[in-house]
A and B are shown apart, each in its own frame.
Chain A
């Protein structure tokens, strides 16, 4: 039992290392870059105090679900019921990046990303959870509280909208 516990701990720690950056990215879209660290910190605190702890194979979904709930609570308290945020490439309070970094950033924002950023909040969220974080429909349904059928419909609608938007940019699709 002790060995199992130690092994689970090591797995959990490695999962935390693996998931911290994706959680930060997800939280930044929920509450903004300046609060993302707080949300992720609170998420891991809740992991430490969870009783019983989540199973390792469901750890990622559990962490994203808790992170989302905390983010929504914060937005509600702040009275900001705004939708899932669009891309925050730069916070207005952050210092100006250096010109090479700015140029690099601009190149990176492709037509596909612009198409994703133009989607409604609900579609953006599920698209990112699917293609950035690699969750299945069922896991995304567990995180967002939607049904798996709804998630499938949203992803289908998002991909269709992105395809329609990218059609003039044929070279991107052929890449």
Chain B
């Protein structure tokens, strides 16, 4: 591949940073281009100037310290590591562990005080449109039982109560998570970094927005010059609808797309990874240049070859082998170019869960009294039943015990009669 004037490889060449093979390949290109020769000469002059000037640069004034000086901060304390001016205190391991425990305990205590607790009840309506009715469910930490009204449809959601206290569980975040300000360097003519961007976002949506989200996202990415590479959605009973879309978008429009997603959905996770393949790319470029030059020489050789068929076949084999390597490297380069030009964004989305507080029904005095009588009668009859069962349980023991006591009594009586008859 032809080298441009602004390629960092020219600077590396001037500073002697290239291996022999690459230097040779670059040298060939420089020899063939007067522009490159001028550029190399200019870089060399600047490098020599910098070498001279920086070598002669006066060193910063560093204050001279005497051998006995203790510096500004230090008093030697037991267990401290000190060098002049800076004291590093070493804490015993036990103290470090204790400090960590105190911090953790304190944070837990503060969280326990500040965060609301003792939920009155939770009604889970994962798919409100599926069913409507009433049921009983145990909720929360208080163990309070009460009736739960399942949602019948979208209108009921509006009337429902949202459990907004703290983070009840996954699904209803209390505040939006803004995506991190990923800075994507603008692609300029001067930028020779080869960077591959991969981003992932996990978002939640309102049920109303979920149906059209995938289509809107696909339309958006198309308008930015990209496309949808993969799409999947799931709708399982008892779970909120969810989906996953993989998108390819031009690298300089990636942030724009991520900002658009953040504007229409609630972001729970946003991350981006960057792979810098500049070194590998430059390496492949140099190897390609070398191989192409080698192929050209072999072809020349073949064109001029007038000797034995065996020699011609050898050269042709060599050309074939070099061509295979060239195509492999070019394939790799094309893949990299594609990955560099089009970044990948994977968006996992799901509909947010909605939690309803179950209000126990209000009761009158008569209802409460009647309920108390019923509960009391139930407890009484229950106690009687338990007593009866207990009696049945001890019956065999009592029977055996009675027999033993009777036998003992009769035996004693007979013994007493015998003694009195003998007198």
- Give chain A's interface residues, CB within 8 Å of chain B: 21, 24-25, 28-29, 33-38, 41-42, 45, 74, 87-91, 94, 97, 105, 108-110, 112-113, 116, 127-128, 130-132, 136-137, 147-150, 152-153, 155-157, 159-160, 162-163, 166, 172-175
A130, B15: Cα distance in complex, Å: 9
Cβ A173 vs Cβ B71 within 8 A: no
Q: Check A36/B56 contact, CB under 8 A, given A41-B83, A153-B192.
A: no
A139, B30: Cα distance in complex, Å: 27
Cβ A131 vs Cβ B51 within 8 A: yes
A127, B49: Cα distance in complex, Å: 12
Cβ B8 vs Cβ A105 within 8 A: no
Q: Within 8 Å of chain A (Cβ to Cβ): is B55?
A: yes
Q: Within 8 Å of chain A (Cβ to Cβ): is B301?
A: no
Contacts of A88 in B (CB 8 A): 60-61
Task: Give residues of chain B (42-78) contacting chain A, Cβ–Cβ below 8 Å.
Answer: 42-43, 45-47, 49-51, 53-63, 65, 71
Cβ A29 vs Cβ B65 within 8 A: no
Cβ B59 vs Cβ A28 within 8 A: yes
Q: Which residue in chain B gives the minimum CB-CB distance to A138?
A: B17
**Binary CB contact string for chain B from 9 to 38 against chain A (1 if under 8 A, 0 otherwise):** 111100101000000000000000000000
- Give chain B's interface residues, CB within 8 Å of chain A: 6, 8-12, 15, 17, 42-43, 45-47, 49-51, 53-63, 65, 71, 83-86, 190, 192-193, 276, 278-279, 282
User: Chain A nearest CB: distance from B74 CB in Å?
Assistant: 10
Cβ B192 vs Cβ A116 within 8 A: no
Cβ A156 vs Cβ B11 within 8 A: yes
Cβ A149 vs Cβ B54 within 8 A: no
Cβ B59 vs Cβ A147 within 8 A: no
Residue B50 contacts which of A24, A74, A162 (CB distance < 8 angstroms)?
Answer: A162
Cβ A41 vs Cβ B60 within 8 A: no
Contacts of B15 in A (CB 8 A): 130, 137, 155
A28, B61: Cα distance in complex, Å: 9
A109, B84: Cα distance in complex, Å: 31
Q: Which residue in chain B gives the minimum CB-CB distance to A25?
A: B59
Cβ A152 vs Cβ B61 within 8 A: no
- Complex A-B: 18 CB contacts under 8 Å: A28-B59, A28-B60, A33-B61, A38-B84, A91-B61, A108-B58, A112-B50, A113-B54, A136-B17, A149-B282, A152-B9, A153-B193, A155-B11, A156-B10, A156-B12, A160-B6, A163-B42, A163-B43
Cβ A159 vs Cβ B278 within 8 A: no
Cβ A112 vs Cβ B62 within 8 A: no
Cβ B62 vs Cβ A37 within 8 A: yes
Cβ A24 vs Cβ B278 within 8 A: no
